[in-house]
Structures are given as structure tokens and as C-alpha cells.
């Protein structure tokens, strides 16, 4: 299982980076960080952690908003100022499609379009695109009174679609194994009570599937 650090490090051989390389982070409330400071957003934390490891990618540009679905992210991108090229692009989207009970195959079509856009902005280099799995919000207090098993099953299906499409286009698929898991539900008052929490503190321990030459698939990582 490869860490995000190894994915970045393996791709930094040779003189391939600009003086001030940039990262574009696309997503929803998981990316923008609900109820957290800017420094607590996972893309910001990830880049700060990587900088400590000797990989300096600067600060990310984030296009994300609480509650966004795939089509709303597409609309947000259309209204944003986006550069022609980034060194890396991250994509974490889908939880609100699942929450609103959107059809998973409709999600697939939107996700395909977003992933193709991400690859285009990464200078048509899929190995420079990180797709993150949807964390299971069903283990948080926000899901109290809801069918947690159904939520988990639906999120698994969404993540399977993301994995399939990411592997098809040869980008990196990262399964999130963060500070809350299905095996250990969090009590009220913990950070996970915020519906959207920072992911970056664990990012260097993330394992990936679909990472050519870097990663191995993991089976049932959250169970």
C-alpha cells in the first residue's frame, strides 16, 4: 500500500516542476472544510505535511462548497477562474449525490466529466490526479436515527463507481482511512460531529487503489 507521500515523491524525479507549482482541489464540503479554519482544510494540511517531507507545492486553489453535488461542482468550476495547467489536481465529490439519493449511474456520467476535466488541467497526465473515496458519514452522529447500513451500502456503490472510472483513466484512487471508521463510531462532541471534517491530518497514511506502479488494491478497507 503506497502513501500519498510516495505517490508524490515517485513523480518528482527530474526537472519537471515549475518554480511555484500549484494544486487544484475540486470537491464539496469535505474539501472546503465545514466549521474549520482555512489551515484545517485537507488540501492545505496535505500540502503542509508534504512540505515537511521536502515536497513544496505551495498553496492549493480550492473550488468546493458545502452541499455541492457533481453538477453543482461543474457549475462552480464554470464560474471560477481556472488556470490552463496545474501540477496536481485532487477530486473528492459524491457524498451529496448519495445524500440526496441521486441515481448512481447519473453520478457516473457527471463524475466521468469531472475526472476528464481534472486530467486535462493536470496537463493531460492522469498520474497527476488524485481521486479520493467518499468517507462514510453514516458512522458520525449526523446519521443518528438513519439507516446506517443503507448509507454504507450506497457509499460503497458510489466509491466503486469512482474506483472503476479512475482506474479506467489511469489516475490515482485513494481510499480514505481517516480518524473515523465504520468500526469505531464517534461520540457526540468529537471532531466528526462536524458533518465535514478535515482529512489532511491523516493524508500521508492514505492507501490507494488504481495507482499504476505504486499501489495495490485494498479489500474492505473500512470494515
Contact 75, 117 (CB under 8 A): no
> Whose grid coordinates read 506502479?
213
pLDDT at 35: 77
Place of cell 462532541: 189
Q: Write down the pLDDT at residue 10.
A: 57
The predicted pLDDT at position 78 comes to 98
For each of the chain's 223 residues, which pLDDT tens digit applies?
345 655 665 555 444 445 444 899 999 999 998 777 888 888 998 888 888 888 888 899 999 999 999 999 999 999 999 999 999 999 999 999 999 999 999 999 999 999 999 999 999 999 999 999 999 999 888 899 999 999 999 999 999 999 999 999 999 998 875 544 555 554 443 443 343 344 554 444 443 333 333 333 333 333 2
For 38-102, the three-class secondary structure string (H helix, E strand, C coil) is: HHHCHHHHHHHHHHHCCCCCCCEEEEECCCCCHHHHHHHHHHCCCCCCCCEEEEECCHHHHHCCC
Would you state the pLDDT for residue 187? 43
Q: What is the pLDDT of residue 191?
A: 40
What are the structural domains, with CATH classification, of the chain?
4-209 (3.40.50.1110)
> Which residues lie below 8 Å from residue 169, measured CB to CB, with a gap of 6+?
115, 116, 119, 126
pLDDT for position 75: 98
Which pLDDT belongs to residue 12? Answer: 55
pLDDT of the residue at 207: 38
Cell matching residue 129: 490526479
**pLDDT for residue 182:** 54
Q: What is the pTM of this model?
A: 0.79
Amino acid at each position: 500500500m503506497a502513501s500519498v507521500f510516495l505517490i508524490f515523491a515517485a513523480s518528482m524525479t527530474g526537472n519537471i516542476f515549475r518554480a511555484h507549482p500549484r494544486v487544484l482541489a475540486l470537491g464539496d464540503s469535505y474539501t472546503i472544510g465545514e466549521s474549520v479554519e482555512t489551515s484545517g482544510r485537507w488540501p492545505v494540511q496535505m500540502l503542509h505535511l508534504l512540505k515537511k517531507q521536502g515536497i513544496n507545492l505551495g498553496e492549493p486553489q480550492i473550488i468546493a462548497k458545502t452541499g455541492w453535488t457533481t453538477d453543482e461542482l461543474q457549475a462552480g468550476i464554470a464560474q471560477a477562474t481556472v488556470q490552463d495547467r496545474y501540477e496536481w489536481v485532487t477530486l473528492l465529490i459524491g457524498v451529496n449525490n448519495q445524500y440526496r439519493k441521486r441515481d448512481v449511474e447519473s453520478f457516473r456520467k457527471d463524475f466521468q466529466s469531472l475526472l476528464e476535466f481534472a486530467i486535462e488541467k493536470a496537463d493531460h497526465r492522469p498520474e497527476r490526479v488524485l481521486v479520493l473515496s467518499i468517507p462514510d458519514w453514516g458512522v458520525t452522529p449526523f446519521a443518528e436515527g438513519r439507516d446506517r447500513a443503507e448509507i454504507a451500502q450506497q457509499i460503497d456503490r458510489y466509491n466503486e463507481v469512482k474506483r472503476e472510472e479512475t482506474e479506467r483513466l489511469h489516475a490515482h484512487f485513494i481510499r480514505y482511512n481517516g480518524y473515523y471508521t465504520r468500526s469505531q463510531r464517534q461520540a457526540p462532541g468529537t471532531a466528526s460531529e462536524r458533518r465535514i471534517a478535515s482529512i489532511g491530518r491523516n493524508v500521508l497514511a492514505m492507501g490507494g487503489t488504481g495507482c499504476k506502479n505504486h499501489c495495490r488494491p485494498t479489500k474492505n478497507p473500512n470494515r
